[in-house]
Amino acid sequence: MSTIQLAFAVALTAVLLGVAAFAAVVGRAAVRSDGGSHPTRRLAARMLRTPEERAELNRWAFYLHRVSGVAIFGFLCLHVLDIGVYSLSRSLYDELHTVYGSAPMRVFECGLLFAILFHTFNGLRILAIDFADLGMAPARRLLAGVVATTALLGIAGSVVILAPVVT
């Protein structure tokens, strides 16, 4: 592994640790604010409310939207830096970009694809809810569509991304 590839691996690790730390903060805030997903008295009280009062799926979609946004932003910053290597040296740039063909990086790119798809479609869902002033039932149906679309397109894109290392 060359120095530039090692620097990229360190930067990618820092981005992933930052996203994991942010996800932990979001998870702790969720637990503190409304009981979280583990069995507590507050969770039991929340589960006794009607689905319309709970808006449980919308709440978790909101948390996932925040985490996916931070993950996309982190990778975007890393991507700007790695593209900037081209201004230093084309050979360094080519050397760095051999990392993108590796199996672990392709798996990471699949995760990034799922994050981008979910964040995009959920953002459009949020806009639709806000502009159309939709109620809880249509919001849940839209969320089901977001998850289904993300899964279908994410799996299809992952097949394409992983094909060179699987075959």
Query: Rounded CA gap, 167 and 163, in Å?
Result: 6
46 or 18, which is more confident: 18
153 or 31, which is more confident: 153
Please return the burial class of 57, using the count of CB atoms within 10 Å of its CB with bins 0-12, 13-18 and 19+. middle
Across residues 138-154, what is the average pLDDT? 94
Entry pTM:
0.83
| Structure tokens that stand for 3 in this block | 């120095």
Q: What is the per-residue pLDDT across 124-144, written as a single tens digit (0 to 9) for each? A: 999 998 888 877 888 889 999
Out of 19-33, 37-51, 62-76, least confident range: 37-51
- CATH topology for 3-166 is 3 helical TM bundles of succinate and fumarate reductases (1.20.1300)
Residue 96 in contact with residue 8, Cβ under 8 Å? yes
Q: Which of 78-96 are b and which e, b meaning 16 or more Cβ less than 10 Å from the residue's Cβ? A: beeebeebeeeeeeebebb
Out of 18-27, 44-53, 135-144, least confident range: 44-53
Q: What is the per-residue pLDDT across 72-114, written as a single tens digit (0 to 9) for each? A: 999 999 999 989 989 988 998 998 888 888 999 999 999 999 9
Query: Rounded CA gap, 124 and 144, in Å?
Result: 13
